[in-house]
Amino acid sequence: MGRIGVMLPRDIAAGDLIGYVQQAEELGFAEIWVVEDYGFRGGVAQAATTLAVTTSVTVGIGILPAAWRSPAVTAMELATLAEIHPGRLQAGLGHGMPDWMRQVGVWPTSPLTLLEEHFRAIRDILAGRTVSTEGRYVRLDGVALDHPPDVVPPLLAGVRGPRSLALAGRVADGSILAEPVTPEYLAAVQEQVASSGSHLLVAYNLAAVDDDPLAARRVVRRGLQWIGEPDWWPHIAPLPYAEEFAQLRAGCASGAEFAQKMPDEWVDQLSVTGTPAQGRARIDELFAAGATSVVLIPAGPDSLVALRSLARLL
């Protein structure tokens, strides 16, 4: 059986952050994932805070955009967290959102090459090796840690395209899959990853549950309006209704209109929702399809209320 985690909302009020992660641990979530979206909060700072104010929960960073940090700095930051909190950290690296990366002037000509070079350098540094390399993007001369961690954290790739997933299969300990994640998408991902060994699959999904399934669906529906955007097409393409989905999205003037017109069946398949029993059944389907962790993204205006509601799925 896999592990059920919860995401720390990227826009949670600063005064609620510590209470949220402590309550998530007390409620029994196995993992807490933090996100580093440009303009919100840094992933390393959030992870450090979460690790410091909890005792045993695993903390995941999903993801650190590779291009805007030196791999030497990334390795040092991750090693520091892993040394202080051994066995409690998982870290994700990815391309980052292209528009955001262009805003800060770091979007590379070859994102795949950059990501591969970062993965290889960071893994070697964390493993205690002295690294010298002259790559296209990564140039290091005798870089090593004075105190490499005894427990090296898993390094996962937060990617979605087939070539990036194939890269994840070669260089990463696992893949972080952005929402929405369905059993069909998991099957496609595993074909593209084609890893010869164990490979973690962390599945994000928007989530809301209620004793009234219609109420839960109303809450979660509002968070699905962006799914029709082109970046998310790899998630939709494996679905049997992909063509119908694309036609409906093209006929709507906005994401909000699309979310309201989306059939209930699609809402249920593109999120974890319904009654607690229905939500748990969906999580079990994702585990059966290959997810090793299912990370719930709380839907609704009050993050703490949503967190307590989602604990009914544990």
Binned at pLDDT 50, 70 and 90, residue 226 comes out as confident
Query: pTM of the prediction?
Result: 0.96
The reported pLDDT for the residue numbered 253 is 92
- The structural domain count of the chain equals 1
Report the mean per-residue pLDDT for the chain. 96
The residue range of the domain holding 223 is 3-313
pLDDT digits (tens, 9 = 90+) for 38-89: 899 999 999 999 999 999 999 999 999 999 999 999 999 999 999 999 999 9
Predicted confidence (pLDDT) at residue 229 exceeds the cutoff of 80: no
Task: Say how far apart CA 262 and CA 277 lie, in whole Å.
Answer: 23
3-state secondary structure labels for all residues of the chain: CCEEEEECCCCCCHHHHHHHHHHHHHHCCCEEEECCCCCCCCHHHHHHHHHHHCCCCEEEEEEEEHHHCCHHHHHHHHHHHHHHCCCCEEEEEECCCHHHHHHCCCCCCCHHHHHHHHHHHHHHHHCCCCEEEECCCCEEEEECCCCCCCCCCCEEEECCCHHHHHHHHHHCCEEEECCCCCHHHHHHHHHHHCCCCCCEEEEEEEEEECCCHHHHHHHHHHHHCCCCCHHHHHHHCCCCCHHHHHHHHHCCCCHHHHHHHCCHHHHHHCCEEECHHHHHHHHHHHHHCCCCEEEEEECCCCHHHHHHHHHHHC
Instruction: Spell out the residues 6+ positions from residue 83 whose beta carbon is closer than 8 angstroms to its own.
Output: 147, 149, 150
The reported pLDDT for the residue numbered 195 is 76
Record the tokens describing residue 19, joined without a space: 């209470």
Predicted confidence (pLDDT) at residue 158 exceeds the cutoff of 90: yes
Between helix 43-53 and helix 14-27 the angle, nearest 10°, is: 50
Task: Say how far apart CA 275 and CA 126 lie, in whole Å.
Answer: 43
pLDDT digits (tens, 9 = 90+) for 184-200: 999 999 999 987 789 99
CATH number of the domain that residue 269 is part of:
3.20.20.30
Binned at pLDDT 50, 70 and 90, residue 225 comes out as confident
Binned at pLDDT 50, 70 and 90, residue 232 comes out as confident
Look up residue 94 and give its amino acid: G
